[in-house]
Chain A
């Protein structure tokens, strides 16, 4: 299928007359006429011709096309616009594009998805999980913290994983382990062990320790000693030695026809762009990537399966980097540790710049505690009682967990009750308030523990069963068994047994302490005989805070300590210092800003999930959601609710509701004022010149429900692009096969384990997601002056996805697809290409047996054709 001699556009007819009209240009360019490649000037005749050609090409010819091998180059943080700009610039020396291989493979001979976006935050671990699974988001940060036991999931830390691999520990990367636990397979699981050669990546299976040995040999042993000594003197380049070995092995494996899936991940561009914002640095790294794709493409072309191979380059997010602006860092850890910020001891997974020293190079870091010098009531207890957890990776956003405010109240009152100098009146009032605080959550905690206990018992049985299974595993494996991965599977069983036992022990300890707390009786209560750690779990955040909690968050005692009301009861309003974290964060300003294009307010808006049952009463019938709602806060009069409907029925609709003054009373009742659309609301939709809705139609259009696809068409070129959809994706608690205790056919223990895994996933949800203003970041490891990502800005979410294939793959040539797509489209499109997807987006039977389920994302039909589902499985 060759489009290369045409130049055309297709205008899709809108399904709904009120839907913004979307120009879906497909603009292949003539190879020879370089000047034509920047333009699409459709005439009616060419349009008709092209429509006919496209219909034939996209529908007809794909019936025979099928990809038998997939080679994927994963590039972390590769912005589509930057690649596009450099591809169109000519190198005066070579007379070709600055990125000649991109130009040749994907622009002239392949298909590029010009509007490919992250669905969710532009952050590596969540974003790669979408790209690698094709399923809705389960992993929501680069680092996740378990609120109950402070277990830390660090999805990016490769080195400890390699060491564990080398010492016969964990088989898979942490992200893969989590996805396994909830039974969400990744694309490479579609292939048997011997059929795949995945590189080192976030969702990796196994580590190629032998490859690392070979890499070291190639670098240090099999080299001319003089050359090596010279390099040693001039600076030993060790950064890419493993990657280069992986590349060599990938190229070598192309000759093996049994290998059907190969990939490589390079993080070089991400690293470069975080630290440098200049064109030359970006271009130098992109040229290296360009050369790499040239080598891969050349290897593919000389392989026996060249005609059946599809080569894909995909990235997880874009990059907010601008030569004119230095990205500025704002230290949330410092804010939270200050008295004004609540005096929190803050846990992070990355070491702070202020602490940089030789210990900072240690990759095996446990969670790092930054001790507040101004702690209200936990001085010297930072290791036992951190009260804030912060994940700032990305760094244009930060996930913030705060300890459950009522635990703070209980902790404070218990400390007071342990004092010996408390007056009898105060002691009585404090004791009453202490038990009232426990009673406040008694029903919730009791129910939670009652549900949790059988789950932990089931976990214990599962751990024991796995332990027995581990003991029964063979210790040695034949070559044939290794080839199909039985050695790794055996180790997985043992690791799972160990992890299950560790989780059971940690959660049991947590549950035991909570039961002790709930078991306290007013009668005979003697705080002197108790220790705080017997009542309040160490390293635990407790339940997630409600909106009311976050608007009235207790950080300590007032300057006058406990105060009594006239009736002798404790005056809670005057006794405790409370903070409204929405106002506090939003109101942060800096005085040392010297860049005109950078706001003095580092924080753009704050987002959090409101459970459906909490908000439903405040919404009229026409706005009733059938899932949880996202609240966006950009000031008292600049707020919005994102309301979802219909996702479970297969057609998600979303409504953006401008509001003001949202508050939640202590009894849970939520109130807010409806507001008109106006500029300055979160996501700045109305005023955006690139909103694909006519100026006069905007208020009416924006005040309606629209499908996620309609929103995508309308929004994707705006400053925040598909952020509205991304926020829904980020905050929705999607059910996975392994987190659905109601699924049919489960045994009682399987039900309990599904409930356990669902609980675990919910425990990592932060209280607040803080989004930075443009060119601000929250990195406190370094300042990342070059640029950042993580936000919902289009520059950060606009990513790269391109396809090129051999003659039998049917990948169109010279095609620029301008229809917007997102991360959920990658896996179903690849499976459609390989003939492993049914027309209703379900996997073929062989993949269903491996755990794959129906994919929610759209297949990119411009690439895979629209008649997928009729081909049989390729393997």
Chain B
């Protein structure tokens, strides 16, 4: 119960961060954002799609390397369909041959292997996207 409440709090805060400003670092103290992302990265396995979308958006809107790293960690930890969708979206945004793109591909592959609730259809689709590009 306590965990669910804390996840809800951090999800709410990160959603607010994600939608409030085109550059999160201007409108939010990075330590506040990092704290919530860190929580999801550590204990966010039961977080919902809202948290995943917020983490993906923050990854795009922040210039803080640590926040970006924690956003990806959080997505990996959440590892639900929305989180995988966000990882794929971010993967597609990266230039070919980039280090980040490779990292995102690795995270997606790992996400597929670590989550046995991924449907074969989704797994096939994801892998085809990863292999395609």
Residues of A within 8 A of B (CB): 93-96, 100-101, 104, 291, 294-295, 298
- Complex Cα distance, B16 from A94, in Å, reads 10
Q: State A96–B32 Cα separation when bound (angstroms).
A: 10
Tell me the complex Cα distance, A104–B27, Å. Answer: 9
Q: Could you tell me if B32 and A298 are in contact, using CB atoms closer than 8 angstroms? A: no
Is B31 close to A, CB under 8 A?
yes
Residues of B within 8 A of A295 (CB): 22
For the complex, give the distance between the alpha carbons of A805 and B12 in Å.
35
User: Which residues of A have CB within 8 Å of B20?
Assistant: 291
For B29, give its contact among A95, A291, A294, A298 (CB under 8 Å): A95
Q: How far is the CB of B23 from chain A (nearest CB, A)?
A: 6
Q: Which of B22-56 contact A (CB under 8 A)?
A: 22-23, 26-29, 31-32
Task: Find out whether the CB atom of B22 lies under 8 angstroms from the CB atom of A104.
Answer: no
Asked if B28 contacts A298 (CB within 8 A), the reply is no
- Given A94-B32, A95-B32: A100 and B22 within 8 A (CB)? no
The residues of A that contact B119 with a CB separation of less than 8 Å are none
A96 touches B28 (CB 8 A): yes
How far in angstroms is the closest Cβ of chain B from A833?
Answer: 24
Whether A291 contacts B21 by the Cβ 8 Å rule is yes
Contact A298–B31 (Cβ < 8 Å): no
Known: A96-B26, A96-B27, A104-B26. A294 touches B32 (CB 8 A): no
- Cα A93 to Cα B32 in complex, Å, equals 8
**A101–B32 alpha-carbon span in the complex (Å):** 18
A298, B27: Cβ atoms under 8 Å? Answer: no
Q: Are A294 and B21 in contact (CB under 8 A)?
A: yes
B62 to chain A, nearest CB (A): 13
Chain B binding surface SS class: helix
Contacts of A104 in B (CB 8 A): 26
Residues of A within 8 A of B29 (CB): 94-96
Chain A residues whose C-beta falls within 8 Å of the C-beta of B16 in the assembled complex: 93
Asked if B27 and A94 sit within 8 Å, CB to CB, the answer is yes
Do residues A294 and B31 form an inter-chain contact, with CB atoms below 8 A? no
User: Once bound together, how far apart are the Cα atoms of A479 and B27, in whole Å?
Assistant: 43
A100 to B21, CA, bound (A): 10
Complex CA distance for A101 and B26, rounded to whole angstroms: 7
User: A104 vs B21: C-alpha distance in the bound complex, in angstroms?
Assistant: 12
Bound Cα distance A295, B27 (Å): 12
Q: Which residues of A are found within 8 Å of B23, using beta-carbon distances?
A: 294, 298
Q: How far is the CB of A311 from chain B (nearest CB, A)?
A: 14
Query: Nearest Cβ distance between residue A300 and chain B, in whole angstroms?
Result: 11
Residues of A within 8 A of B13 (CB): 93
Known contacts A95-B32, A298-B22, A298-B23, then 13 further A-B pairs from the complex at CB < 8 Å, ordered by chain A residue: A93-B32, A94-B27, A95-B28, A96-B27, A96-B29, A100-B21, A100-B28, A101-B21, A104-B26, A291-B20, A294-B21, A294-B22, A294-B26
Which residues does B use to contact A, with CB under 8 Å? 13, 16, 20-23, 26-29, 31-32
**How many Å from the CB of B34 to the closest CB on chain A?**
11
* 22 A/B residue pairs, CB under 8 Å, sorted by A: A93-B13, A93-B32, A94-B27, A94-B29, A95-B28, A95-B31, A95-B32, A96-B26, A96-B28, A96-B29, A100-B21, A100-B26, A100-B28, A101-B21, A101-B26, A104-B26, A291-B20, A291-B21, A294-B21, A295-B22, A298-B22, A298-B23
Q: How far is the CA of A94 from the CA of B28 in the complex (A)?
A: 5
Q: How far is the CA of A294 from the CA of B31 in the complex (A)?
A: 21
Cα(A291)–Cα(B31), bound, Å? 21
> Max chain B CB contacts within 10 Å: which of A94, A95, A100, A104?
A94
| Residues in chain B near residue A291, CB distance under 8 A | 20-21
Tell me the smallest distance from the CB of B28 to a CB of chain A, in Å: 5
Distance in angstroms between the alpha carbons of A760 and B22 in the assembled complex: 50
Contacts of B31 in A (CB 8 A): 95
Chain B's closest residue to A95 (CB) is B29
**Chain A residue nearest in CB terms to B21:** A294
With a cutoff of 8 Å between Cβ atoms, the chain A residues found around residue B22 in the complex are 294-295, 298
In the complex, the chain A residue whose C-beta lies closest to that of B24 is: A94
On chain B, the residues within 8 Å of A96 by CB distance are 26-29
Distance (whole angstroms) from the CB of B21 to the closest CB of chain A: 6
Chain B minimum-CB-distance residue to A105: B26
Residues of A within 8 A of B28 (CB): 94-96, 100
CA distance A95 to B25 in the complex (A): 11
**What is the minimal beta-carbon distance from B54 to any residue of chain A, in angstroms?**
15
Residue among A100, A104, A298 with most chain B CB within 10 A: A100
Chain A residues within an 8 Å CB radius of B21: 100-101, 291, 294
**Chain B residues within 8 Å of A100, by CB:** 21, 26-28
Query: B residues within 8 A CB of A93?
Result: 13, 16, 32
**B106 → A minimal CB distance (Å):** 29
Closest chain A residue, CB of each to CB of B22? A298
Which residue of B has the minimal Cβ distance to A100? Answer: B27
Closest to B23 in A: A298
Closest residue of chain A to B27 (Cβ to Cβ) is: A100
CB distance from B42 to the nearest CB of A (A): 21
Chain B residues near A101 (CB-CB < 8 A): 21, 26-27
CB-defined contacts of B32 to chain A, threshold 8 Å: 93-95
B109 to chain A, nearest CB (A): 32
Distance (whole angstroms) from the CB of B104 to the closest CB of chain A: 22
| Bound Cα distance from A294 to B25, whole angstroms | 12
Distance from B50 Cβ to chain A, minimum over Cβ atoms (Å): 17
**Chain B nearest CB: distance from A59 CB in Å?**
32
Question: B17 — nearest CB in chain A belongs to which residue?
Answer: A94
Q: Which residues of A are found within 8 Å of B27, using beta-carbon distances?
A: 94, 96, 100-101, 294
Least CB distance from A684 to B in Å reads 42
Bound CA span A294–B26, Å: 9
Q: Complex formed: what's the CA distance from A94 to B36 in Å?
A: 12
State the Cβ distance, A251 to closest chain B Cβ, in Å: 10
Bound-state Cα–Cα, A100 to B23, Å: 11
Shortest distance between the CB of B71 and any CB in chain A (Å)? 18
In the bound complex, how far is the Cα of B22 from the Cα of A101, in angstroms? 10
Residue with the highest number of chain A CB atoms closer than 10 Å, among B13, B20, B22 = B22
When distances are taken between beta carbons in the complex, the residues of chain A under 8 Å from B26 are 96, 100-101, 104, 294
Nearest-neighbour CB distance to chain A for B20, whole angstroms, equals: 7
Residues of B within 8 A of A94 (CB): 27-29, 32
A716 to chain B, nearest CB (A): 32
Closest A residue to B13 by beta carbon equals A93
Q: How far is the CA of A95 from the CA of B26 in the complex (A)?
A: 10
| Residues of B with C-beta under 8 A to A294 | 21-23, 26-27
CB distance from A58 to the nearest CB of B (A): 27
Instruction: Please give me the residue from chain B that is nearest to A301 by CB atom.
Output: B23
Q: How far in angstroms is the closest Cβ of chain A from B10?
A: 13
Residue of B nearest to A302 (CB): B22
| CA–CA, A100 and B28, complex, Å | 8
Instruction: Report, nearest first, the 9 A-B pairs whose CB atoms are least far apart.
Output: A95-B29, A298-B22, A100-B27, A104-B26, A94-B28, A95-B32, A100-B26, A294-B21, A96-B29
What's the least CB distance linking A846 to chain B, in Å?
A: 36
Q: Determine how close the nearest CB of chain B comes to the CB of A375; give it in whole angstroms.
A: 59
The residues of B that contact A95 with a CB separation of less than 8 Å are: 28-29, 31-32
Complex Cα distance A112/B60, Å?
30
| Complex Cα–Cα for A294 and B20 (A) | 10
Q: How far is the CA of A148 from the CA of B31 in the complex (A)?
A: 68
- From A97, which residue of chain B is reached at the shortest CB distance? B27
Cα separation A295 to B13 with both chains bound (whole Å): 20
User: How far apart are the CA atoms of A95 and B16 in the complex, in Å?
Assistant: 14
Docked complex Cα distance between A93 and B17 (Å): 10
A58–B31 CA distance with the chains assembled, in angstroms: 36
Q: Whole-angstrom distance from the CB of B67 to the nearest CB of chain A?
A: 13
A242 to B12 Cα, complex, angstroms: 31
Cα(A96)–Cα(B20), bound, Å: 13
Q: Which of B16, B21, B29: most chain A CB closer than 10 A?
A: B21
Query: Considering only CB atoms, which chain B residue lies closest to A299 in the complex?
Result: B22
Cα separation A94 to B29 with both chains bound (whole Å): 6
Q: How far is the CA of A295 from the CA of B16 in the complex (A)?
A: 16
* Residue of A whose beta carbon sits closest to that of B32: A95
Which residue of chain A has its CB nearest to the CB of B30? A95
**Complex Cα distance A291/B28, Å?**
13
Residue of B nearest to A296 (CB): B22
Q: How far is the CB of A706 from chain B (nearest CB, A)?
A: 44
